[in-house]
Amino acid sequence: MSLLPVKDRTEAGDGGAEPAESAVWPAGSLEPAASSSASAGGPTPAYRDYLRGERRGRWLVIVSRIALLAALLALWELAARQKWVDSMLTSKPSQLAASFRELALQGDLWKHTWTTGLETIVGIAVSMIAGTAIAVLFWWSTYASKVLEPYIVVLNALPKVALGPIFYIWLGDRYSVYGMAVAISIIVTIMMIENGFKELAKTKLRLMESFGATKLQMLRMVMLPASVPNFIATLKVNVGLTLVGVVMGEFLSSKAGLGYLIIYGGQVFQMNLVMVSVCMLALMSAVLYGIVNGIGRLLMRKYQDGR
């Protein structure tokens, strides 16, 4: 197929053809001028419009979340002021702000928040380390997996609050909170990571087995790096579960922490204290979840880049 312009082909001897101003190019190809200008000029207008639409969508979601929260708080305050609800039972945002300021100035709120936060972080760390070690044991030894898995299933179905008095007797009022936190989250950690290992073993280990790799090599070079997304998902689940375990432990035995403040506020009928503690728990869970998301993005970037 000739790539000469129509005008040149006419002058070369095709007298019956009409001259044309533009060149004729093979189907599916781009003219050099057009492609070079597109690459030199950056994103196309359509792509820039798409990026602007994505940014507008993200900002719209953020603004909508803030507006929804503001509307709920305004409705709560209005309902309490108009006596639609009893503020002694439900409190109201203005009273919560005053109680928060008072507790913050006294220092009690930060002390109890730090106690709950430290217990939660320790519970997450212990659950992830111990749960991953047990999941590796189950993957490493089929015999151990077959023997111990029924007990894991039974422990997962057992109501963990029933273990609270046992932990209190065994560990005392301080460390029983850690026991509750680990008891709630470790079983889920084991089950999630073990299932991830089993899925990886079906697809990624056959080639290494054919080359005679040892289990330690497969674990270090394939299983653990490929399980990073599963670890992050398990960590996100453990944020909520461990916080639940910590608060349950503080309900039962602790003399400090946000769970203790909630129980104390309920006993003396101070709903402001209860609601401030609940709001601090919500804020703490959001902060922990954000930290886990940040760690997950860093690990996924490192995992995807192969470093």
pLDDT value for 130: 92
Residues 9-55 have pLDDT tens digits of 444 444 444 444 444 444 444 444 444 444 455 678 888 888 888 88
pLDDT value for 121: 92
pLDDT value for 125: 92
d(CA 169, CA 173): 8
Sign of CA dihedral 169, 160, 273, 265: negative
Q: Comparing 266 with 26, which gets the higher pLDDT?
A: 266
pLDDT value for 64: 92
Residues 118-172 have pLDDT tens digits of 999 999 999 999 999 999 898 888 888 888 888 888 888 888 888 888 888 888 8
Contacts of 232 (CB under 8 A, 6+ apart): 292, 295, 296, 299, 300
| pLDDT of 307 higher than 80 | no
Tell me the pTM. 0.73
pLDDT value for 68: 93
What is the percent of the chain where pLDDT is above 90?
A: 10
Phi-psi region of 91 (alpha: psi -120 to 50; beta: other; left: phi over 0): left
Top-confidence range, 27-31, 183-187, 208-212 = 183-187
Top-confidence range, 204-208, 277-281, 300-304 = 277-281
Mean pLDDT to the nearest integer, 219-226: 80
d(CA 239, CA 282): 12
**Which tokens is 203 given?**
């697809």
What is the percent of the chain where pLDDT is above 70?
A: 82
pLDDT band of residue 5 (cuts 50, 70, 90) is: very low
Q: Comparing 201 with 270, which gets the higher pLDDT?
A: 270
Among 220, 247, 3, 21, residue whose Cα is nearest residue 112? 247
* Mean pLDDT value across the chain: 79
| pLDDT of 6 higher than 60 | no
pLDDT value for 212: 73
Residues 244-259 have pLDDT tens digits of 889 888 888 778 888 8
pLDDT value for 71: 93
| pLDDT of 193 higher than 80 | yes
